[in-house]
Structure 1
Amino acid sequence: MTARSSCRNRTAKSRIAAVGAMAVAGTLILTGCGDQTADSDASEKQDSGKATLADKLPKAIKDAGVIKVGSDIAYPPVEYRDKDGKVVGIDLDIAKALGEQLGVEFKFENGTFDTLLGGLRSKRYNIAMSAMTDTKDRQSGVDAETGKKVGEGVDFVDYFSAGVSIYTKKGDTQGIKTWSDLCGKKMVVQRGTVSHDLAKDESKKCESDGKGKITLETFDNDQQAQTRLRAGGADAGSSDFPVAAFAVKTSGGGKHFELVGEQVQAAPYGIAVPKSNPELRDAIKEALDAIIENGEYAKIIKKWGVEDGAIKSAEVNGGK
């Protein structure tokens, strides 16, 4: 903790600035402080507000100073490793901003996407944050494919909105513009994602219409699916719009893929929190509202060029 001072320069923005002002305390004393009461009170209220927000965390997490995050770190630009091996992305930046509000570190731990909710159930992670779409099935702990209950479900703190897109090899769209155009074709997707669910549902429609099912090849992560498509092993791929758009822009310098058709089923990304921990859920929600209000959230969204997916306020379990 830095020392407080009842005499602060009006341009001071933080406690650090106040310490700098104290370095020239002799000058300040000679010239007088002026009426600094309002500035001092405002600063103390701000400090008190942050302390109150941090105090809303569960005691065990507050004492540890760490929130363990389960994430599939192979989904650029949401979370991935850059050329130097550093974990970066939209989720990382948002988590860092949340951590600054809550006074803790969000520590990301890598896992395959379809194991993240199981990791929450086994308490390997405190939360899961990995471009995970907030759905009623996940909220209630129901397996989307079998319809069977597999756990107590999770609560989501929604922080972004994204639809699903289809992409093909550049210059080889084969007339694909909509999901119905995929009948009789081969598609690559990441296992356990909304794209996977959509492809399975569309394949059933294709069969019922006598058009031939969609042949699906699934992978642990989206980058593996992209590699398969690039090598000619499929006709199309699908992933969340920010991810598909990033692949189109960056893979092969923009020479490998192209987006086809419009994104569909826009839905919220949510930070998954065990239902047994509403204290953590509510603290994260308040921290998210705080970074939306102070403008930090907008800066992060703009940095990654995904402004269309920005939200205006945090919501719990907003998925359908």
Structure 2
Amino acid sequence: MTASTTRRTAAKSVKSRIAVVGAIAVAGSLLLTGCGDQTKSGDKGSDSAPLASKLPKSIRDKGVIRVGSDIAYAPVEFKDKSGNAIGIDPDLAKAMGKQLGVKFEFQNGTFDTLVTGLRSNRYDIAMSAMTDTKDRQNGIDPDTGKKVGEGVDFVDYFHAGVSIYTLKGKTEGIQNWSDLCGKKIVVQRNTVSDDLAKAQAKKCPAGKKLSIQSFDDDQQAQTRLRSGGADAGSSDFPVAAYAAKTSGGGKDFQIVGDQVEAAPYGIAVGKKQTQLRDAIKAAMDAIIKNGEYDKIIAKWGVKAGAVTQATINGGK
């Protein structure tokens, strides 16, 4: 997701994903379902959990890592009909849980409140298609340039870019961001798409204003576009591609133009939680090495965004 301090992020850079759209379409047919406010992902720890000792004792004792996530961003995380969190992030979390001997418990929240939830200790981590940016690392509001918190550390685990999409067959001549001048765009609030739209609005000439409609989640933005209330939408490429292939049986939307500014997705961890951060990195590296990561990424049709190792604070 992309909120101003998380990419689904609102940052000066945008996530570009080159996930295979056809593969996403196949994945889509497997994954359409819904999810409750608090859902669990991952198996209970066992004696075979090789990385359990790397976790802080308080988390080992609880056996749970609380995950803040905006669970409305298919195919990265969304809800199935039984109210369970499914998608790329929940699957990766379950695989890491086996390594660490804990459950990853997903708790639903709006994207722009996830970092605040980390600060208030509501969550242990935030895992929500969040783009790793320097602003988020340093606690800087990208709109004002002012420091609003101590920031977070990221464990980067995927790469994605930002795409524009329109109603199918109604592109209105839109192929890139400059074509949006004089048009209306829908975005998720506090995301990189939101930031890009604001930046483009400042460049539009007089008389060709770019109107931006922002929503709490991407599904609301898609609904607005689908109803004809806007000319275009923007979100991370995997999400835009998934919507284009699944919404209305593939008849609602189409992606236009190229992705822009690919950037890493990161798992956000509080600055003081270095032991937890390092344990998460070790677990991610372990599932990359043992092949579980590749299987999950392939399942959801996003192999082009795969990484070969986890990185701490690799965003720019």
In which range does the TM-score fall when normalised by the shorter chain? 0.7 to 0.9
In structure 2, the residue matched to 1:156 is 154
Q: In the TM superposition, what is the alpha-carbon distance from 1:83 to its structure 2 partner?
A: 3.2
Q: Partners of 1:153 and 1:270 in 2: how far apart?
A: 13
Matching residue's letter, 2:100: L
* RMSD of aligned alpha carbons: 1.3
**Higher relative contact order by CA 8 Å / sep ≥ 6: 1 or 2?**
2
* Aligned position for 1:249: 245
The structural deviation recorded for 1:165 is 0.3
Inter-CA distance 117–180: structure 2 relative to 1 (3 Å threshold): same
Report the secondary structure of 1:76's partner residue.
Answer: coil
Conservation of the 8 A alpha-carbon contact between 1:165 and 1:239: yes
Q: Does 1:109 find its partner at 2:114?
A: no
Give the corresponding residue for 2:202.
Answer: 204
Q: SS of the residue aligned with 1:158?
A: strand
Q: 1:217 aligns with which of 210, 213, 219?
A: 213
Aligned position for 2:174: 176
Give the Cα separation in 2 of the matches to 1:311 and 1:254: 29
Partner Cα distance (1:284, 1:85) in 2: 26
| Residue type at the aligned position of 2:245 | K
Aligned equivalents of 2:47, 2:86: Cα separation in 1:
31
* Shift >4 Å, 4+ stretches: 47-50
* Paired residue secondary structure (1:119): helix
Give SS of 2:195's match.
helix
Write the distance in 2 (CA, Å) between the matches of 1:107 and 1:265: 31
The CA distance in 2 between the partners of 1:272 and 1:206, in whole Å, is 34
Cross-structure match for 1:70: 68
Question: What is the Cα deviation at residue 49 of structure 1?
Answer: 8.6
Q: Quick check: 1:70–1:111 contact (8 Å CA) kept in 2?
A: yes
Provide the residue aligned with 2:224 in structure 1: 228
- Paired position in structure 2 for 1:311: 307
1:290 aligned onto 2:283: no
Unmatched 5+ stretches in structure 1: 1-46
Residue in structure 2 matched with residue 57 of structure 1 by the alignment: 55
Cα distance in 1 between the residues matched to 2:118 and 2:141: 15
Q: Structure 1 CA distance, aligned partners of 2:159 and 2:117?
A: 24
| Separation in 2, partners of 1:102, 1:225 | 37
Q: Which runs of 5+ in 2 are unaligned?
A: 1-45
Task: Say which structure is richer in helix.
Answer: 1
Which residue of the partner structure matches residue 240 of structure 1? 236
TM-superposed deviation, 1:87: 1.6
What is residue 35 of structure 1 aligned with on the other side?
none
Deviations 1:121-146 (A, max 9, x none): 10100000000000000000001111
* Higher Cα Rg, which structure: 1
Q: Post-superposition shift, 1:85?
A: 2.9
The answer for the alignment partner of 1:80 in structure 2 is: 78
Structure 2 residue identity aligned to 1:269: Y
Question: CA contact under 8 A between 2:49 and 2:98: conserved in structure 1?
Answer: no
DSSP-derived class of the 1:173 partner:
coil
Cα distance in 2, alignment partners of residues 70 and 95 from structure 1: 12
* 1:48–1:96 CA distance, 2 compared to 1 (3 A): closer
1:133–1:268 Cα contact (<8 Å) kept:
yes
Deviation at 1:168, TM superposition (A): 0.1
What residue number does 1:269 align with? 265
Alignment match, 1:143? 141
Q: 275, 280, 293: which is aligned to 2:276?
A: 280
2:98 to 89, 97, 100: 100
**Count of aligned residue pairs for this structure pair:** 271
Q: What SS does structure 2 have at the residue aligned with 1:61?
A: helix
Q: Secondary structure at the match of 1:123?
A: coil
Alignment check: 8 A CA contact 1:166 1:239 kept: yes
How far, CA to CA, are the matches of 2:299 and 2:228 in structure 1?
A: 33
C-alpha distance in structure 2 between counterparts of 1:82 and 1:217, whole Å: 27
